Amino acid sequence: MTTTRRPGRPKDLVKGDAILDAGWALFIEHGVEAVSIEAIAARAGVSRQMIYRNFADKHALFEQAAARKMLAIETVEIDRPGGREDTLEGALRTFGIAIMSYLASDTAVAFYNVLAEELRRRPNIAQRFYEIGPGQMIADLASILAGAGDRLVIDDHVKAAEALFGLWQGGSNFAVSLGVDAKVTKQAIVERVDYGVLLFMRAFSRLNL
């Protein structure tokens, strides 16, 4: 009886990591469609046969590489500024600066640009990305807001979290993705987050009622 091995992490972990690293680097540089299995093999220092023994095609390789990258995003440690984390405003400021700094990083921008090319072809990747990326971020922020019921008047914490994130982001995502004043946009993250927290507190604070 012949069995078909399910696609997944290669048995040879060292070569598997080399293949995934090489594939992801080439996908970022050229886009998925422009990259050949031969190019990935050459970059990884393995044979074409080694790649095909572990992945059905380059799209399966992309899916595995993207899953690995999303896991890295899920567990990423971001340097967080100190000073005011013991207050609600401080907690929101810490969260905002951390997430906006990551979203503006070269690593994140490259990941999103490459991922977007494949989303329409592979909705399962899009769903997974949303769940552990934007979806989890909004859920975490909503949890912070829900724990501040004595300070805030909010009827829907998820919607409020989305509104606060919108204040932080503004048009910065377009500027960074398009490379328009990207450096200036990154330098203004702290100022933009502080202003967003200020506006949010004015809108939802019990003291303003």
Domain segments of the chain as ranges: 13-74, 88-208
Is residue 82 predicted with pLDDT exceeding 90? no
User: What's the whole-number average pLDDT of the chain?
Assistant: 82
**Cβ–Cβ < 8 Å for 22, 44:** yes
Average pLDDT, stretch 56-82? 71
Q: Residue 79 burial (CB < 10 Å; 0-12/13-18/19+)?
A: exposed
Query: What per-residue confidence (pLDDT) applies to 111?
Result: 76
Is residue 115 predicted with pLDDT exceeding 90? no
Q: Which has more confidence, 142 or 105?
A: 142
pTM: 0.70
Query: What per-residue confidence (pLDDT) applies to 43?
Result: 96
> pLDDT class for 76, splitting at 50, 70, 90?
low
Amino acid type, 121: R
Q: Among 21-25, 120-124, 156-160, whose mean pLDDT is lowest?
A: 120-124
Q: Among 59-68, 123-132, 158-167, whose mean pLDDT is lowest?
A: 123-132
> pLDDT class for 10, splitting at 50, 70, 90?
very low
Query: What per-residue confidence (pLDDT) applies to 5?
Result: 45
Query: What per-residue confidence (pLDDT) applies to 20?
Result: 94
Is residue 141 predicted with pLDDT exceeding 90? yes
What CA–CA distance (Å, rounded) separates 87 from 81?
14
> pLDDT class for 83, splitting at 50, 70, 90?
very low
> pLDDT class for 97, splitting at 50, 70, 90?
very high
Over residues 167-209, the pLDDT tens digits come to 999 888 788 777 777 788 888 999 999 999 999 999 999 876 5
What CA–CA distance (Å, rounded) separates 40 from 72?
21
The class of domain 88-208 in CATH terms is: mainly alpha
Average pLDDT, stretch 123-143? 83
**Cβ–Cβ < 8 Å for 125, 66:** yes
**CATH classification of 13-74 is 3.40.50.2300, yes or no?**
no
Spell out the long-range contacts of 87-90 with Cβ–Cβ below 8 A and sequence spacing 24 or more: 88/144, 88/148, 88/151, 88/152, 88/201, 89/197, 89/201
